[in-house]
Amino acid sequence: MPPSETAADWIDRPDALREWLAAMPADAMVGMDTEFMRRNTFHPQLALLQLGWNGRHALVDPLAFDIGDALQPQLGAGPATTVMHSAGEDLETLAPLLPDGPHILFDTQIAAAFVGMGLGLSYRALVAELAGVELDKGETRSDWLQRPLTDSQRRYAALDVVYLQTIHEQLAERLFRRDRRAWHAEDCARLKQRASHRDGDPQPQRALRAAADWPVARQALLRRLLLWRDRDARRLDVPRPWLLDDTLALSLAQQPPASLADLEQRGRGQRALRAAQRSDLFELLAPAVDDGEIAATARIPGHPQGEAKKALAAMKTLVDTLAGELDLPPGLLCPRKALEEYVVTAEWPEFLEGWRREVLHDRLVPLLPG
């Protein structure tokens, strides 16, 4: 069916969604995508769910009813394979409905990287390559929370799942020929696990490398501050920088406010840092850091210097060589950030567990600086 004629059922009732899903065999290959909005909130707002199976397509309206009860039995717990493209943000958006993600996930962007098509390939590029169809980008910045959706929005949304089955078939065959199915499945499982961590990063200070040279007690105070920011941003449903941007967080941890008036003055411009939040924050920063907090705080990895910098260059050369031999993008095999973390801390990064450990560990260990 030509893209301009693609039809999709509009589903805005729970019985209609259950009926649509009931028509599928338990082990179906189901294409899935979402449209969501994330402008002024912490949590992405699900605005539309697109489903596709065996030439049938549905646009499900999550604003009309709770769609989780219908999705969970077949996609969250059943043997169906859910095919998605670049699923990270979609899985985060769907987490309230599918807390552990789809039971079996096949991410086509990850699969494309494993079969030599490049890292981070867009859905549009993948459709052009494997289906020979050029998709329109006209509704990319559309308001998906408006109702009713326009005909153009509906066509655009449906096309996000129309070609997933064709793409899946070709990529699955290429993964089989390259013996990469297990590696792909592991990375898809990792993606689901990351999206299901609804409590946030327990060590958020590690992302602020400007504090890498701080004393450990100061890093522990920064961690305390960032955990509070994450907790309250979630509770208030506002973007983290609205409550406390990174620059102010670093400043407050390095030099805690002397008074509430001082905090108010320094916090000007933080859109969600109101009187109640300032009071909580002031009380949070007052107690001294204890030994327990220090022990619980992972040190912030700094930038490689001296011998570590030389070791990083040697490791990067090794990764590039191995990636070439395996016909994988170097960034898929081992991102530079993971190498930098390893060469500075000498602790094996969590990202490099699984199949990456088997490929890399014994080769990288001898390159660590002495």
Per-residue pLDDT of the chain (370 residues; tens, 9 = 90+): 444 446 899 999 999 999 999 999 999 999 999 999 988 899 999 999 999 999 999 999 999 999 999 999 989 998 999 999 999 999 999 999 999 999 999 999 999 999 999 999 999 999 999 999 999 877 667 899 999 999 999 999 999 999 999 999 999 999 999 999 999 999 999 999 988 766 789 999 999 999 999 999 999 999 999 999 999 999 999 999 999 999 999 999 999 999 999 999 999 999 999 999 999 999 999 999 999 999 999 999 999 999 999 999 999 999 999 999 999 999 999 999 999 999 999 999 999 999 999 999 999 999 999 8
Domain membership flag for residue 301 = no
- Measured from the Cβ of residue 255, the count of other Cβ atoms closer than 10 Å reads 11
- 213 with 282: CB under 8 angstroms? no
Last residue of one domain, picked from the residues 249, 277, 296: 296
Provide the number of structural domains found in the chain.
3
- 60 with 48: CB under 8 angstroms? yes
**Are residues 190 and 211 located together in one domain of the fold?**
no
> Which residues is 11 bridged to in the sheet?
60
Q: What is the CATH number of the domain that holds 222?
A: 1.10.150.80
**Are residues 110 and 19 located together in one domain of the fold?**
yes
Residue 123 tokens, joined: 């859905």
Last residue of one domain, picked from the residues 248, 271, 296: 296
Domain membership flag for residue 302 = no
**Are residues 141 and 213 located together in one domain of the fold?**
no
Measured distance between the N- and C-terminal CA atoms of the chain, rounded to whole angstroms: 62
- Residue 264's domain spans which residues? 204-296
Domain membership flag for residue 335 = yes
**Are residues 218 and 191 located together in one domain of the fold?**
no
**Are residues 192 and 210 located together in one domain of the fold?**
no
**Are residues 143 and 232 located together in one domain of the fold?**
no
**Are residues 152 and 251 located together in one domain of the fold?**
no
Residue 29 tokens, joined: 């290959």
Q: What is the CATH number of the domain that holds 106?
A: 3.30.420.10
**Are residues 96 and 43 located together in one domain of the fold?**
yes
Domain membership flag for residue 325 = yes
Domain membership flag for residue 167 = yes
**Are residues 192 and 59 located together in one domain of the fold?**
yes
**Are residues 252 and 311 located together in one domain of the fold?**
no
**Are residues 181 and 146 located together in one domain of the fold?**
yes
**Are residues 93 and 137 located together in one domain of the fold?**
yes
List, in sequence order, the alpha helices (H) in the chain: 14-22, 68-71, 88-94, 108-114, 123-131, 151-162, 164-178, 181-196, 216-236, 240-243, 246-254, 260-266, 275-285, 291-296, 307-326, 330-333, 336-345, 355-364
Domain membership flag for residue 92 = yes
